[in-house]
Every structure is written in C-alpha cells, then in structure tokens.
Chains A and B, each alone.
Chain A
Amino acid sequence: MKRDPVVIIVVALVVTVMIVFGFQVARRNSGVTASAGPNMNGQAAPDFTLESLDGKTVHLSDFRGKGVLLNFWATWCQPCKIEMPWFAELQKQYGPQGLQIVGIAMDDASPKEIGEFAHDLGVNYPILIGKEEVGNAYGGVQFLPATFYIGRDGKVVDKVFGLKGRGEIENSIKKALAEGQPVQAQK
C-alpha cells in the first residue's frame, strides 16, 4: 500500500499538537506547582509556634476546626504583594464560613517594617514572623509565595507555589473548608 506523504505529515502534525496540548492541560490540572517540595497532601500539617506581629504566641493547632490558608511570603516578593489584598478580601468573604488566613513572613525586615507593609496592603489576618525551621517543616520553602491549604481536620488538602489566579485560590479555599469536620478550636 502506498502511503500519501501529505496525509502522513498532517497526521504527524495533529499528533504533535495533541501531545503539546496534553502537556498544557495536564499541567493545569495537576495543581501546577505541586511538584515543588514533597507531596504533603493528606498529611497532617506540621504544627508550629510562632510570634505574631503584635507579640502573641500562635500555634497552627489554635486554628483546628477551621479551614486554614497558610501563606509564606516576604516583603521582597512582588508576586506575594499581588495576592495579599485578595487574601484580605477572601478572609472577609469566607471568614464567617470558618476560613482563617495566616501569613508567615519569611523576611529579614523588622517586624515594624513587615507590619507597615502588610497594613498598606490592607491585610486583615494574622501575620507571624517566620523561622527557617517552620519553612523546612513544610518541605523547605525555596521560593515565594508558597501557600498551603489545610482542612478543618488539620490535614493539608492543597499546596501551591508561585502566584496563582484568584479563582484558583478560591477553589482551594473551598476545598479546605469542605475537608474535615468543623469542630471547636482546640488549644
């Protein structure tokens, strides 16, 4: 049987386009940057003790029973600056349903500077002063922003590295709020 070269080329092109398109779709559906760091989904989020900007000692376990968005950020991170006002709005929107957003500043800046920076962005959720060991407990936060979504049962339901669209953030928040039973916060 003689093959028509034009048909073969067309078929080859179609297959190539499908492969490239397939990679793009797979990437979008895979939680995108979930490959950065170890896969923590389904595991208990490591508890920590950190100090907030107003000098309070805060544990992650303080928020058990709530869906938690844990955002590692820094004042030198421009993409972080984009999503923080979104977080403030989402805290207002989903707070009544049990969402608690917590920012962890992985920064060399002083608490005063961090506070001013956060204030200018309208942050209405607690900002904690980060420590390297906390970043390490979350798989080593090698770049920012890095956001972990934690269900009401304290298990990681999603993690996202790098800036994502507001819609994707909102979807992950819904996922965190849906996971685990709403229980009374425990100390």
Chain B
Amino acid sequence: MSIIRKLSLILALLAALAAAQDNQDLPGRKTPSVSMAPSPVITVTRGRPNTVNLRFRVGAGFHVNSNQPKSEFLIPTVLKLSAPTDIVIGRVTYPAGTDMSFAFAPEDKLSVYTGEFPVVVDVRPLAGVIPARYMIRGELKYQACDKAACYPPRKLPVQFEVKVIKGPPPRRRNPGQSPHVHL
C-alpha cells in the first residue's frame, strides 16, 4: 500500500473520530445510561446479617446525583429492594458523592456519582429460611445530567441472587456436670 493510501485511510479514520466526538458532545445525542455490574450468586448465612456489594456504572459523559445531593430539589440516587418473605433487607449504604462543578455552574459544587460506584446492602435471612437460592429484585432511581442538559428521572431494574446457607451450629457450652456422676 502506498504511503498516500495509508495516509488517506488514517485521515478518514480521524475524520470519523472527530465526527463521533462531535456527536457525543451534544446533549441528547446519547442516552444517559446507568447499569449494574453482573453480580455473582452471593452466599448469605441464615440468621445472621450479611453484606452484599452491588456495583453500578454511570455512562461516560454523564453524572447522577449522589444519595445526598446538595439541594432539596435535586433527585437523589436511591436503591429500593424487595426480597422474598423471611429475608430482611436492612440498611442500604451509599458512597459519599464527589463534589464536582460543571461548566454550566462553575461556582456551584454538586455531589455526584460518575463512573463506577458501589452500593452496600445488608441482607439478613431469618433463621427459619429454607436454604436455597433466592432472587432479590428492586430498582435504582437516578437522575442523570451531562454538561449542558438534564434527563428525567429513571429507574434501573436491579436483581441479584443470594444463596442462603445454614450457619455453623451454635457453640455448645460445656454440659452441666451432674453432682451425681461418679467415675
């Protein structure tokens, strides 16, 4: 291939990249996306509190409000879960947001999540739950913006599977000694 052809190819690629970049910069050209990283089956022990780590990813170029946004009008990111009976969903712990300012308001700091962020959920199967796999479902409510526009609140369906196992048998205290035992 001659050097001219090679250069033409490189030029065409660069032009396509420039066009793609151009499109990405404009609000509305890309849909904001928040996704949940695939979660393996999580083993939880019945009768005990367990911690489940979920990971979410905000699409490049977008941010979502953290769980504690700095204004009452901003819509926080909130995970709501519903579990089968006898599996109790406890506290949901969100990471602190990153304080960021954006071109549209350089003097204002917003508390946001960008890229990947974890959410930790306390799961406690009651002692009477039959050991098996259970699906826990819910939704992550978020509201995304890019550098110039904001998108209506959305709900991301969330689900993960837990495998409930029996806990180790409770420690047995030393059996009471009968005063009548004679060895």
A→B interface (CB under 8 Å): 3, 5, 8-9, 12, 15-16, 19-20, 23-24, 27, 32-33, 35-37, 74-82, 106, 109, 113, 117, 142-145, 161-164
The answer for the CA separation of A9 and B27 in the assembled complex, in Å, is 35
Asked whether, in the complex, the Cβ of B151 is within 8 Å of the Cβ of A79, the reply is no
CB-CB contacts below 8 Å: B1-49 with A: 3-4, 7, 10-11, 14-15, 18-19, 22, 25-29
User: In the docked arrangement, what's the CA distance between A35 and B153, Å?
Assistant: 23
A82 to B110 Cα, complex, angstroms: 14
Q: Are A142 and B28 in contact (CB under 8 A)?
A: yes
Pairwise interchain contact B3-A78, C-beta atoms closer than 8 A: no
B152 to chain A: which residues have CB within 8 Å? 74, 106, 142-144
Contact between chains at A79 and B73 (CB < 8 Å): no
A-B contact count (CB 8 A): 101
A161→B27 CA distance, assembly (Å): 7
- Whether the pair A15, B11 counts as a contact (CB closer than 8 A) is yes
B14→A79 contact, CB < 8 A: no
Contacts of A35 in B (CB 8 A): 26, 28-29
With contacts A77-B150, A79-B150 known, is A12 near B28, CB below 8 A?
no
Query: Are A79 and B104 interface neighbours, CB within 8 A?
Result: yes
Chain B positions within 8 Å of A77 at CB level: 145, 149-150
A105 to chain B, nearest CB (A): 11
In the complex, whether B74 has a CB less than 8 A from a CB of chain A is yes
Could you tell me the distance between the alpha carbons of A23 and B26 in the complex, rounded to whole angstroms?
Answer: 12
Residue B87 CB within 8 A of the other chain: no
Residues of A near B146 (CB, < 8 A) are 162
**Residues in B whose Cβ lies below 8 Å from that of A24:** 22
- Which residues of the other chain, A, contact B73 by a CB distance below 8 angstroms? 75-76, 109, 113, 117
> Closest CB of chain B to A133's CB: distance in Å?
15
Task: Given the known inter-chain contacts A32-B26, A82-B104, please indicate yes or no for A76 contacting B153, CB distance below 8 A.
Answer: yes
